[in-house]
Structure 1
């Protein structure tokens, strides 16, 4: 199992657009073999940082999903929300292996 953690620097004035972007990707990850754990939006503290976490059974499964970027019309449309609104200023992906209570 592999979890992708995406750290976003967002434009806090465009949080509504970022939420629309997030809703689109939550649905797409679920339909393409992953489990989305949600987007975590600013509440207190830094107002320009957000996170997304989603899991795939393996890195190979994640790569199958990633191959759709720039090709699949739904993926292109979801990214268009980000690109046209300017809600995301920067993002960085990190891959982690979860240690869960069920692993104890």
Structure 2
């Protein structure tokens, strides 16, 4: 399993727009085989940082998602919404390998 961690620098005056963008992706990502772990918006402390995490079974599945998403009209709509509203200024993406409790 591979987990993608996204750290966004958002416009604090556009949290509602960023939340709308996040909800789009919460519905989109599972269509491509991913598991979304949610978005995390500012509550206390820094008001311009938002986080998101999602996982795929493997890096190969993540790479396939990127190819398929690039051709999807709903993804294009989400990307256009972010560009139009400028609800985030930039983001950084990191990948992690989770260590989970053993089942059994």
TM-score in same-fold range (> 0.5): yes
Q: TM-score, normalised by structure 2?
A: 0.94
Q: What is the DSSP-based 3-state SS (H/G/I as helix, E as strand, rest coil) of the residue aligned with 2:102?
A: helix
- Aligned partners of 2:62, 2:35: CA distance in 1, in Å? 11
4+ residue runs of structure 1 moved beyond 4 angstroms? none
Aligned to 1:33: 33
Question: Given that residues 20 and 81 in structure 1 are in contact (C-alpha distance below 8 angstroms), is that contact kept between their aligned partners in structure 2?
Answer: no
- 1:35-79 deviation digits (Å, cap 9, x = unpaired): 000000011110000000000000000011111344211110011
Question: Given that residues 42 and 49 in structure 1 are in contact (C-alpha distance below 8 angstroms), is that contact kept between their aligned partners in structure 2?
Answer: yes
Give RMSD over aligned pairs.
1.1
Aligned to 1:6: 6
Number of residue pairs aligned between Structure 1 and Structure 2: 103
Q: TM-score, normalised by structure 1?
A: 0.94
